[in-house]
Structure 1
């Protein structure tokens, strides 16, 4: 009996050692003295070093970051279960097809302007021998981390190469009716609230092709941090167009500095006025990053089998934190200037910045 008991204790000890083993698992040695939980993640430290220097100008939150973030969406949203159910190819989702088949996909109307970032990213992905799908999502996640107060996005590696180009007309356009945008995003698996969460990316966005007449003006700039002020400015009632008139996909602006990049040129901003979660995003800015992270994690694996991917999120840098003031109304504005249409949730009461109303001169028509 004693011998049996001893054997049982020995068995328990063995099981304990087996269970505990992963906690002591040796980390993979990577370049420059770094380590990773999986060998497959080591290459991404090298990619990180390269793109921070050669793509993002030493780790800045600039135009290439905005374009890289845009590319994550334009590649991934090429995914339609509805087409697949009809016996057609519904796209491979986040598979890098927009780079592999760039001669086809950059000609799609909704992909106007992505050719430049595609040509910048393609040789870097080839240099490091990683898939285009992985590179696109990695560059987007690293880019966001360069923006102050930006979220730390999940990054899973191991996407196989795309096998064919995405079908046309799967990328929503700013000029599309709101119900069409929601239907397209719903087909890809996103709820209206998740669409709003993804819109937080526009807090570090700019426009290049919707209204070329404002290029180089105060309306045309790329903010360098994530904050909830974007939602406040989105909800301000528009009064006029900043450029040479109404362009396809453009809505009237409230004529404040940066309104061209934050609101004017995105008809998608209408969604914010309709979403039940938009008001809480204004009053609880800490929720913006977490919602954006969750929606981006979902988008980044559209069309992929997540169980076959390796979590290399540890390679993504952590964004710097700055003291961001709570959202406010711009100087000269009142609560009456907010176009809040959510009948269920009251819009939070905001104070206005001190000083005279901030305006910029209209860009002369060319």
Structure 2
């Protein structure tokens, strides 16, 4: 009898726990919207989500989603731990666009800044918030991507970031790593951030071939960037037709000089290689580095977690592989402590990579 009573007590406790958990996640209807929210303070962001997906990002992993992610980095990295400048992720690249968009490292960002500003103004959001929200939503449109955190409530920027804070692809690895360290990022976090190049394309490195992707699957957040950059190129750093470019062995694909060097430098080559066959690790490390980037210079205690508004990305349909016509023999081994993993080769003739179409 005592055992029966004890069991009933455990059942009662379990029911109470489940009931309390359900109450904790109770959603409320958002006004003037079909959405519901766990935190009512996040309701207005659902309106921004609907607007930006329909009228800018088109709910796809296309050029505008790629650009939305790019501007997050270019805005936030204008920050220093050792010098008195930069507000970090504060939207200064929009608010003080007349200054920052003239920097050579920000070439091409002006279009994205001009696209995002009306959404911020229409919905009463700060530029720092709209940049980080659009970046998180843009990433979520790409299959295989992690669901990024989004915190709202950044105050408006009060000053522009100085020139020289955004790394350039033609700079040496020590110079880039020193700049990133000054902003608070380790070499491992730098490589994690470069997972963004799996859904990136170049417009300004060579303006005659806009939309040239950095890997063969620019519509998927996958590990191909870490595989294809390790293939032997047809040139050497600095020998591409434009500054900051190394010729890729794949027709239609662009390889940044900095990516080429990161994949081969003693300080980063093994980190680079570790992502080649490990999609979960790449996604986890990218999400952690982006979480840090998105709040540079901000007082996190004053921000509201509205991550619930960010869509849940689909799973990628791509498994790691060598492009058609390439095998493990084409890999330029760089990591001294582990052999580059082997992958199947896609069937067919040598692969030509298609450009990312404009939106």
Normalising to structure 2: TM-score of the pair?
A: 0.85
Q: CA RMSD in A?
A: 2.6
Q: CA deviation at 1:332?
A: 2.3
Correspondence for 1:342: 335
Q: CA deviation at 1:148?
A: 1.5
Q: CA deviation at 1:343?
A: 0.4
Correspondence for 2:178: 183
1:268 corresponds, among 255, 259, 271, to: 259
Q: CA deviation at 1:330?
A: 1.9
120-129 or 223-232, larger mean C-alpha shift: 223-232
Cα distance change of structure 1 residues 216 and 192 upon mapping to structure 2, 3 Å threshold = closer
Q: CA deviation at 1:269?
A: 3.6
The 1-side partners of 2:305 and 2:190 are apart by 24
Q: CA deviation at 1:338?
A: 1.1
Q: CA deviation at 1:253?
A: 1.1
Correspondence for 1:143: 138
Aligned to 2:181, the other structure's residue is in SS state helix
Correspondences of 1:1-366 after superposition (within 5 Å): 23-24=23-24, 27-31=27-31, 32-57=33-58, 59-84=59-84, 90-215=85-210, 223-240=218-235, 245-257=240-252, 259-260=253-254, 264-274=255-265, 275=268, 276-325=270-319, 327-359=320-352
What residue ranges of structure 2 are gaps of 5+ in the alignment? 1-15, 355-359
Aligned to 1:197, the other structure's residue is in SS state helix
The 2-side partners of 1:280 and 1:198 are apart by 14
Q: CA deviation at 1:197?
A: 0.6
Write the deviation string for residues 239-283 of structure 1: whole angstroms up to 9, x where unpaired: 149xx95211111211344x22xxx23523421333222222112
Q: CA deviation at 1:25?
A: 7.5
Q: CA deviation at 1:285?
A: 1.9
Aligned to 1:95, the other structure's residue is in SS state coil
Cα distance change of structure 1 residues 44 and 95 upon mapping to structure 2, 3 Å threshold = same
Aligned to 1:329, the other structure's residue is in SS state coil
Cα distance change of structure 1 residues 128 and 115 upon mapping to structure 2, 3 Å threshold = same
The 2-side partners of 1:341 and 1:33 are apart by 52
Computing the radius of gyration from Cα coordinates, the structure with the larger value is 1
The 1-side partners of 2:57 and 2:73 are apart by 19
Contact 2:215 2:228 in 1 (8 A): no
| Number of equivalences | 331
Q: CA deviation at 1:21?
A: 9.8
Write the deviation string for residues 76-111 of structure 1: whole angstroms up to 9, x where unpaired: 000011212xxxxx2000000000001111001111
The 2-side partners of 1:273 and 1:44 are apart by 42
Q: CA deviation at 1:40?
A: 2.2
Q: CA deviation at 1:45?
A: 0.2
The 2-side partners of 1:43 and 1:212 are apart by 38
Q: CA deviation at 1:331?
A: 2.4
Contact 1:206 1:221 in 2 (8 A): no
Write the deviation string for residues 21-49 of structure 1: whole angstroms up to 9, x where unpaired: 99547644314342223232111000000
Contact 1:28 1:42 in 2 (8 A): no
214-223 or 94-103, larger mean C-alpha shift: 214-223
Correspondence for 1:4: none
The 1-side partners of 2:148 and 2:119 are apart by 21
What residue ranges of structure 1 are gaps of 5+ in the alignment? 1-15, 85-89, 362-366
